[in-house]
A and B are shown apart, each in its own frame.
Chain A
Amino acid sequence: MTITKNQEAGKLTISLEGRLDTTTAPQLEGELRTAVNGITELIFDLEKLDYVSSAGLRVLLAAQKVMNRQGSMKIRNVNSDIMEIFEITGFVDILSIE
C-alpha cells in the first residue's frame, strides 16, 4: 500500500493506494499517530484503494474518534466495492463520505 500525505496548514489529505488489510493497516496506523497532531481537517482520498478488511476499518474508526475531538474527518472518492463494505458494516453512518 502506498500512503501519500499532503498538508496545508491544519488540513491534511492522505491518499491511499492498493490494499488496506491486516498486513498494511499497522503501517497506516503508525503514520496517523504522528501526522494528525495539530490537524483540524483530515481528508482520506480512497480513489486508488481497492481493498479494505476489518483491520483497515479499525484504523479508519480510530482516526474518526481522534478527529471527533480535534476537528473533522472526510472521506473522498470511495469506489463501489469499498462503499459496499462501508454499508454492510454501518460505517456510512459513522464516517463523512463525500
Chain B
Amino acid sequence: MDQNKTRKNRIVSLRFKIVVTIILTALILSVIAVTISYNVYSNTMDLHYKTLTSNLAKTAASQLDADALLRYYNEVKQIGEYDEEKYQSDEAYRKDYDAKANALKDDEYVRMLNVLFDIKDSNGITYLYVQKLEGNLCTYIMDADTSEEQCQLGTTHGVSGPTKETEHPEEGIPAFITNDTYGWLCTSMEPVRDSEGNPVALVGVDVSMNDIMEDRANYLRSILLIMGIAVVVLMFAILFFFVKALINPINMLSNAARSFIQDRNSEKKNDSAISKLNIRTGDEVETLCDSVKQMESDINTYIANLTAVTAEKERIGAELNVATQIQADMLPRIFPAFPEKKEVDLYATMDPAKEVGGDFYDYFLVDDDHLALVMADVSGKGVPAALFMVIAKTLIKNRAQLGESPAVILKNVNEQLCEGNEAELFVTVWLAIIEISTGKGIAANAGHEHPVLKRADGKYELVIYKHSPTVAIMNGINFREHTFELHPGDRLFVYTDGVPEATNAHNELFGTDRMLAALNRNPEASPKELLTTLKKDIDLFVGDAPQFDDITMLNFCYKCSPVVKELKVDAKRENLEEVLAFVDKELEIANCSMKTQMKIDVAVEEIFVNIANYAYAPETGSALIRIETQYDANRVEITFHDWGMPYDPLAKPDPDITLSAAERQIGGLGIFMVKKSMDDMKYSYVDGQNVLTIVKYLD
C-alpha cells in the first residue's frame, strides 16, 4: 500500500518536474528572445525615423533662402516684443500682431512656405517649421501648418528639451524621439546657412511615430502570444515524448523488476516479466532494459550456482557429521569398560576441537590378564589428522594384540606409518600394557605428554622421564620402554596436549600445575567424576575463547583384588546358621553396619531356605555359597549355586502388597523382600547350576 503510494507520488513528481522545467526554460528563453527582438526592432525603427527626419530637415533647409529668412526675422523683431499670453488671450493684440506679421510676408516668403508645404505633404511630415534661436529664445519664422495651432511668424518661446541641452543648437540638433502632448514624435533640426556658411535659422521636422509605436506594441503582443502558444504546444509535445520514451519504459522496468522473485518462485523462470519486456526506444533506456535482462539471467545463473554450492556444502557438512560419529564410535565408550575385571576401573573422554579430531585413546584386553592403555595425539587437526588417527589406532591395536611389548609395537607401527606418509603427519603415543593380576606394567612414551601417577596414599604427580621420538617421524627408529608397578589404589592419568595447552582469552595456558591442582582437589573421586571435574575446570578457565585443540583424557584406577570366600554345605534348613555365620564373619571384616548386615542376613536366609526347601525336593543336595568382597568399593557380592532343578525366582510375579490381611497369600514374600533390600539381583542357569547373585553396597 505504502509502496504504491510512494510509487504514484514519484511518477507525478517526474512529470511535474518536466513540466516545471519546460515552463521555466521557455519563460527565460522567451524573455530573452522578446527583449532582444523588440530592442532590435525598435532600434532599427528609431534609427530609420531619425535618418528620415534628419534628411527631410536637410532637404527642406536646402530649399530656403538664408538671407530672406534673416530679413523676415529682423523685420518681425521690429514689430516689438512678442507676448505669448497676450497673443492667446487678447484678440485685439493678436489681430494687430497678425496684421503686422502678415504684412511682412512677401512673395518669396509665400513661395518658400509653399515649398515647405510640398515637402511636408509629400513626405508625411507632421510638423515642418523654421526657427531662429537667440539665446534662450526661439522665434518662429515659418510654420507649414494650416491648423489652428499654426505658429505665426514671430512666435517666440523659451527653448527646452534637447535644444537646451545641445551645446551649439544653432548648428543643428540630431534627431530625437519625444512623447508629449503632440504624441510620439521624431524631431530633427538642421541649420539653414548663408553664403558664408553661417547658420542663420533652423529647419525643424517632426514626424509622428504614433503609428510606429502602436506597431511596436502590436509586435510585442504578437510575439508574446506566439511564444506562449509555442511553449504550451512544445510542453505537451515534450511531455508526451518523455512519457513515451522515459516514464513508461521506466515503469515497465520497475514493475518487471518488482515481480522478479515472484516469477522465480512461481516456476516461471524462463517466462519472467523481465524477459518479456520489449522496450525499443533505441536509447539509454533500451540499453538499461537490456542490462536488466542480462542481470536477470546472471542472477539466475548465480542463484543456480549458489544453490549447487550450498547443496555441496551441506553434503560435506553431513559427511563430516558422519565422520565425527564414525570417529566417536571408534573410541571405546562403554563404561564400566571391563565389568568382569574388578581390579580395573577406568574412564576416558575426547572432545574434538573441530568436527573430527586427531586425538585418540584406546583400551583393550590383550589377553585375559593384560590390559593395554593408549593415549595418542596426531599432529594437525581436522580430516587429515582424523584419517591418520584411524590408521594409527588400528595398527597399534592390531600389533598389541599379537602380544608384543610396547617398544616393539611402536617400532612396527612406526615402520608402517612411515610408508607413504607424504603429508608428514606424525603421532605422539603413550602406550602401556599392564598385567592385571600383579599390577606390573611396561610403558613406552613416543613424544607424548608426561603421564600422571597417584600412589594409593599420595597425590597426583607428573612422572617425568626421557621420551622416545614421536611415531611416524622417521623410518627405522627404536623406541624405549620401561617397567612400572601399580599397587591397589594407585591411579594413572594420561592426557593429550589439549589439556595443559587449553588457552583462555588472555592467551594464558591451563598448564600442568592447574591440571594437577584440579586432580588433587578430590583425588579419590571415581574416574568419571574426576574427568568431568577436570573438564569443567578447563571450560571455566578457557571461558569464551575458542577451543584450539582436542581435549582427551584417560583415568585408570588399579584396585584391590576382591576377597573371595566359598562355603559348600548340604542344602538343609539345619545348616542355615552355619551359612549365616559364614556370611556374617565376612561382613564383620568389611565393617558392615548392623542394619545392612540384618538385610543381607534376611536375603541369605530367604534364598538358602528356598534352595533347601525346593531345589532337590524330595531329595537333598548341596549348595555353594560364594561371597566376594571388594573392600575399596564397599561392595559385597554373594552367589548361591545349586545343582537342583532349574528355577528362576526372579521370574515369579511380585505379591500384591496392597491386599488386606484376609486376601494376602502366605508365602512369596521372601524373594520379594530380597529384591527390595539388595542393590542388584541376577539369576542364570549355567552348566546345570542355578546361579543366583545378590549385590549389596555397604554404607
Write the residues of chain A forming the contact surface with B, with a CB cutoff of 8 angstroms.
21-23, 50-55, 57-58, 61-62, 64-65, 68, 81, 85, 88-90, 93-95
Contact in complex: A22, B598 (CB < 8 Å): no
CB distance from B76 to the nearest CB of A (A): 167
User: Which of A23, A50, A61, A88 contacts B677, CB < 8 Å?
Assistant: A88
Contact in complex: A89, B573 (CB < 8 Å): no
Instruction: Assess whether B673 is interfacial by the CB under 8 Å rule.
Output: yes
Specify the chain A residue showing the minimal Cβ separation from B666: A58
The CB with the most chain B CB atoms within 10 A, among A23, A51, A53, A89, is that of: A53
Instruction: Assess whether B481 is interfacial by the CB under 8 Å rule.
Output: no
Contact in complex: A94, B670 (CB < 8 Å): no
Name the B residues within 8 Å of A88 (CB-CB). 672-673, 676-677
Chain B 637-671 residues near chain A, CB threshold 8 A: 657-662, 664, 666-667, 669-670
**If A65-B662, A88-B676, A93-B658 touch, does A54 touch B669 (CB 8 Å cutoff)?**
yes
CB distance from A54 to the nearest CB of B (A): 4
Name the B residues within 8 Å of A58 (CB-CB). 666-667, 669
Contact in complex: B609, A22 (CB < 8 Å): yes
Q: How long is the Cα–Cα vector from A23 to B657 in the complex, in angstroms?
A: 25
Contact in complex: A94, B661 (CB < 8 Å): yes
CB distance from A17 to the nearest CB of B (A): 15
User: Which of A53, A90, A95 contacts B602, CB < 8 Å?
Assistant: A53
Given contacts A22-B573, A53-B673, A94-B661, 16 further A-B contacts (CB under 8 A): A23-B573, A53-B605, A53-B670, A54-B606, A54-B669, A54-B673, A61-B666, A65-B661, A68-B662, A85-B602, A88-B672, A89-B657, A89-B673, A90-B657, A93-B657, A93-B660
**If A62-B666, A89-B672 touch, does A51 touch B658 (CB 8 Å cutoff)?**
no
Instruction: Assess whether B699 is interfacial by the CB under 8 Å rule.
Output: no
Write the residues of chain B forming the contact surface with A, with a CB cutoff of 8 angstroms.
573, 576-577, 595, 598, 601-602, 605-606, 609, 657-662, 664, 666-667, 669-670, 672-673, 676-677
Q: How long is the Cα–Cα vector from A90 to B658 in the complex, in angstroms?
A: 6
Specify the chain B residue showing the minimal Cβ separation from A55: B609
Name the A residues within 8 Å of B595 (CB-CB). 81
Q: How long is the Cα–Cα vector from A89 to B677 in the complex, in angstroms?
A: 11
Name the B residues within 8 Å of A89 (CB-CB). 657, 669, 672-673
The CB with the most chain B CB atoms within 10 A, among A22, A54, A58, is that of: A54
The CB with the most chain A CB atoms within 10 A, among B658, B660, B662, B664, is that of: B664
Q: How long is the Cα–Cα vector from A95 to B595 in the complex, in angstroms?
A: 23
Name the A residues within 8 Å of B606 (CB-CB). 53-54
User: Which of A22, A54, A65, A90 contacts B576, CB < 8 Å?
Assistant: A22
CB distance from A21 to the nearest CB of B (A): 6
CB distance from B391 to the nearest CB of A (A): 56
Q: How long is the Cα–Cα vector from A94 to B606 in the complex, in angstroms?
A: 22
Q: How long is the Cα–Cα vector from A95 to B598 in the complex, in angstroms?
A: 22
Specify the chain B residue showing the minimal Cβ separation from A23: B576
The 7 closest A-B pairs by CB, nearest first: A90-B657, A54-B670, A54-B669, A94-B661, A88-B676, A64-B661, A22-B609
CB distance from B577 to the nearest CB of A (A): 7
Contact in complex: A21, B605 (CB < 8 Å): yes
CB distance from B610 to the nearest CB of A (A): 10
Name the A residues within 8 Å of B661 (CB-CB). 61, 64-65, 68, 94-95
Name the A residues within 8 Å of B577 (CB-CB). 23
CB distance from B232 to the nearest CB of A (A): 110
Contact in complex: B605, A22 (CB < 8 Å): yes
CB distance from B571 to the nearest CB of A (A): 13
Name the A residues within 8 Å of B667 (CB-CB). 58
Q: How long is the Cα–Cα vector from A57 to B605 in the complex, in angstroms?
A: 13
Name the A residues within 8 Å of B657 (CB-CB). 89-90, 93
Name the B residues within 8 Å of A21 (CB-CB). 576, 605
Q: How long is the Cα–Cα vector from A60 to B359 in the complex, in angstroms?
A: 65
Name the B residues within 8 Å of A22 (CB-CB). 573, 576, 605, 609
Name the B residues within 8 Å of A94 (CB-CB). 660-661, 664
Specify the chain A residue showing the minimal Cβ separation from B613: A22
Q: How long is the Cα–Cα vector from A68 to B661 in the complex, in angstroms?
A: 9
CB distance from B59 to the nearest CB of A (A): 157
Name the B residues within 8 Å of A54 (CB-CB). 602, 606, 669-670, 673
Name the A residues within 8 Å of B602 (CB-CB). 51-54, 85
Name the A residues within 8 Å of B666 (CB-CB). 58, 61-62
Q: How long is the Cα–Cα vector from A65 to B661 in the complex, in angstroms?
A: 6
Name the B residues within 8 Å of A68 (CB-CB). 661-662
CB distance from A62 to the nearest CB of B (A): 6
Contact in complex: B673, A85 (CB < 8 Å): yes
* 9 A-B pairs whose Cβ atoms sit less than 8 Å apart in the complex: A23-B573, A51-B598, A52-B602, A54-B602, A57-B669, A61-B666, A88-B676, A90-B659, A95-B661
Specify the chain A residue showing the minimal Cβ separation from B595: A81
The CB with the most chain A CB atoms within 10 A, among B602, B669, B670, B673, is that of: B669
Q: How long is the Cα–Cα vector from A54 to B640 in the complex, in angstroms?
A: 19
Q: How long is the Cα–Cα vector from A41 to B609 in the complex, in angstroms?
A: 33
**If A22-B609, A23-B576, A61-B664 touch, does A51 touch B669 (CB 8 Å cutoff)?**
no
Name the A residues within 8 Å of B601 (CB-CB). 51
Q: How long is the Cα–Cα vector from A49 to B672 in the complex, in angstroms?
A: 22
Q: How long is the Cα–Cα vector from A52 to B577 in the complex, in angstroms?
A: 15
Q: How long is the Cα–Cα vector from A44 to B669 in the complex, in angstroms?
A: 21
Name the A residues within 8 Å of B664 (CB-CB). 61, 94
Specify the chain B residue showing the minimal Cβ separation from A58: B666
CB distance from B573 to the nearest CB of A (A): 6
Q: How long is the Cα–Cα vector from A35 to B595 in the complex, in angstroms?
A: 32
CB distance from B109 to the nearest CB of A (A): 169
Name the A residues within 8 Å of B660 (CB-CB). 93-94
Q: How long is the Cα–Cα vector from A65 to B667 in the complex, in angstroms?
A: 14
Name the B residues within 8 Å of A95 (CB-CB). 661
Name the A residues within 8 Å of B670 (CB-CB). 53-55
CB distance from A64 to the nearest CB of B (A): 5
CB distance from B674 to the nearest CB of A (A): 9
Specify the chain A residue showing the minimal Cβ separation from B603: A53
**If A22-B573, A65-B662, A89-B669 touch, does A81 touch B598 (CB 8 Å cutoff)?**
yes
Name the B residues within 8 Å of A53 (CB-CB). 602, 605-606, 609, 670, 673
Contact in complex: B658, A50 (CB < 8 Å): no
Q: How long is the Cα–Cα vector from A77 to B546 in the complex, in angstroms?
A: 65
Q: How long is the Cα–Cα vector from A61 to B577 in the complex, in angstroms?
A: 25
CB distance from B623 to the nearest CB of A (A): 15
Q: How long is the Cα–Cα vector from A89 to B595 in the complex, in angstroms?
A: 17
Name the A residues within 8 Å of B573 (CB-CB). 22-23
Name the A residues within 8 Å of B658 (CB-CB). 90, 93
